[in-house]
Chains A and B, each alone.
Chain A
Amino acid sequence: GEDVEQSLFLSVREGDSSVINCTYTDSSSTYLYWYKQEPGAGLQLLTYIFSNMDMKQDQRLTVLLNKKDKHLSLRIADTQTGDSAIYFCAESKAFGTASKLTFGTGTRLQVTL
């Protein structure tokens, strides 16, 4: 079946880069997503990548996809205290809300001073 795995916790110092990793098992995954959940708030879509891409950059965020190894990562440059949140990796077969999303466990990112 489908499985998405992430480490549960990551701690980085303010100003350093954070790298959050995710692995998935379903080779038919077409879209991969990163969601951010801040304390007391809902999940918000940060970015997504189509499976025929290997990199996507958006300001401080860089998404890397290794389709062969089924490995996705999210790099946050110059991590700030406001980046402290839970980051969920997710995959789907198609883009859009009609397609079922399969989520990982979420990685709690703690940014220290």
Chain B
Amino acid sequence: GAVVSQHPSRVICKSGTSVKIECRSLDFQATTMFWYRQFPKQSLMLMATSNEGSKATYEQGVEKDKFLINHASLTLSTLTVTSAHPEDSSFYICSARFANEKLFFGSGTQLSVL
């Protein structure tokens, strides 16, 4: 079946640094990818919709300048958390849309900002 690879699975960084998370569709082209975030004991929340070749659409309350999304190819979307702070520590997960029918999820990235 279709596979979405997300990397890294875990990252620890210092406050003020930027962290890039990659989401790749390995055996299909994904014109649309989604980025979610889950804080401890809270719901998995959609952050933004990433469309290949155009600007991402951000959900209300998500800072576009802080969470930079680049979907430069049909198989890769990246999320960069810029100037990360401890409050950005969270579980980030991506999904990719296949043939406008199914969603395939990555395995997630646990970000810890010290």
Residues of A within 8 A of B (CB): 3-5, 8, 35, 37, 40-45, 88, 96-98, 100-106
Contact A96-B100, Cβ < 8 Å, known A42-B6, A42-B95? yes
CB contact between A97 and one of B6, B42, B102, B107 (< 8 Å): that residue: B102
Contact A42-B106, Cβ < 8 Å, known A96-B101, A97-B101, A98-B100? yes
Number of interface residues of B (CB under 8 A): 24
Closest B residue, CB atoms, query A100:
B46
A104 touches B43 (CB 8 A): yes
Q: 12 A-B Cβ contacts within 8 A? A: A37-B105, A40-B9, A41-B107, A42-B107, A43-B93, A96-B100, A97-B32, A97-B102, A97-B103, A98-B100, A101-B103, A103-B44
Residue interface bits B11-55, CB-to-A below 8 A is 1, else 0: 000000000000000000000100010100111111000000000
B84 within 8 A of A: no
CA distance A88 to B45 in the complex (A): 12
Q: Which residues of A contact B6 (CB under 8 A)?
A: 42
Q: Which residues of B contact A35 (CB under 8 A)?
A: 105
